[in-house]
Amino acid sequence: MEYTPCGASGSIDFEQLAESSMVNDDQSLDDVQAKCSDRRYYFAVILRYGIACLLVTAALLKTHELGSRPVAAFDLWSKKVVVLGAVQIEVFLATWLFLGIRRRGCWTAVTLCFTIFTGVTIARGFQGAASCGCFGKVMISPWLTAAFDIAVLSALIALRQSFCAENGRVSGLSVLLTCVAFVGAGSCLAWWGSSYQPHTLAADGVIAGSDGFVLLEPEKWIGERLPLMNYLDSDAIGHGKWTVMLHKHDCSRCRQILPSFVKEKGQLALIEIPPFGESELMRIPATVVQIALEPKYDWFVTTPVELHLDDGIVTGVRHNFQE
């Protein structure tokens, strides 16, 4: 049998084999890195569109709440004008994410936005709020929302390079049409959210309409007979000097304030705002008169509110409390 040598001298060229092996290893490593890069890019695309859909959903739900019922303004972030501003920002960011242009700037804006979201939800968690308020009427624990926001922030940081990778140019016409759609959608949402006008309780106790939400504005009752008198299940507070607190059974702030309220001097009364339910309030002394507001209407007021009455006339209103 004739034997053909591998090298020029008839011996195996180990150096050539080693170089060939190194080239193959480098190619395999490049292939793995390319596959990982592709996967990260696809994850970044899913993240981008997922955040955009989430922002649109949040904007629609907040606007639906603003357009269908009064909203309690218990802090800066729950004021109507601030909520409407948040809706506009969410729609703008969602439009930017869908367009996929200027991705580095988009990543920075979205990351900053979710950082603010996280701070607000954590603050509401410490305040004892039942819901984060991010999705309108949909009740979600602030702590759960904060955990989700932190997860989104972590994903944004981990996928930053892939998220910011540009993928071709977007035509000017597409940008123009998308911006027009943003302006139109934002304007419609702003109009919808600001158009709702609830029924109000007049100083003489008259309510316009027979159903729906009734907005209570205690600060406008000073110097007038308590407009709620005709809707209470007791007229005990109609004579003499009284300190009255409006409260709700599920109001965390009310639970914090009540222990000090029931220790105040003078005649004390509690008016519970429906809907009624299992109360977590402390044991109320027998000396404190408990009154219920008529459940026929959906009364709306930010609780707790302290009223000072003199023969049924409102002489003072207090919203801010120190424990």
List, for residues 175-225, the tens digit of each pLDDT value.
666 667 666 666 666 666 555 566 667 666 667 655 567 778 888 888 888
**pLDDT for the residue 1:** 47
Question: Is residue 252 pLDDT above 60, yes or no?
Answer: yes
Which of residues 169, 195, 221 is at a domain's end? 195
Domain that holds residue 244: 199-318
- What's the predicted TM-score (pTM) here? 0.56
Select the more confidently predicted residue: 132 or 10.
132
Residues 188 and 214 in one domain: no
* Cα dihedral 138→124→141→262 (10° resolution): -100
**pLDDT for the residue 73:** 55
Which of residues 195, 229, 245 is at a domain's end? 195
26: pLDDT confidence band, cut at 50, 70 and 90?
very low
Residue range 18-39: mean pLDDT, rounded:
51
Residues 263 and 307 in one domain: yes
In this structure, are residues 294 and 64 in contact, taking their beta carbons and an 8 Å threshold? no
Cα–Cα distance for residue pair 173/138, rounded to 1 Å: 37
> In this structure, is residue 243 part of a structural domain?
yes
> In this structure, is residue 118 part of a structural domain?
yes
Helix 80-99 × helix 14-66 angle, to 10°: 150
Residues 306 and 255 in one domain: yes
What's the total number of domains in the chain? 2
List, for residues 136-190, the tens digit of each pLDDT value.
778 888 899 999 999 999 999 988 888 887 665 655 666 666 667 666 666 666 6
Question: Is residue 56 pLDDT above 80, yes or no?
Answer: yes
Residues 166 and 212 in one domain: no
CATH code: domain of residue 290 = 3.40.30
Lowest mean pLDDT among 26-35, 104-113, 292-301: 26-35
Which of residues 139, 173, 195 is at a domain's end? 195
Residues 76 and 140 in one domain: yes
Tell me, rounded to whole angstroms, the distance of Cα 272 from its chain centroid: 27
Question: 309 - beta bridge partners?
Answer: 242, 314
List, for residues 262-272, the tens digit of each pLDDT value.
888 888 888 88
Reported as half-sphere exposure (CB side, CA atoms, 13 A), residue 71 has a value of 28
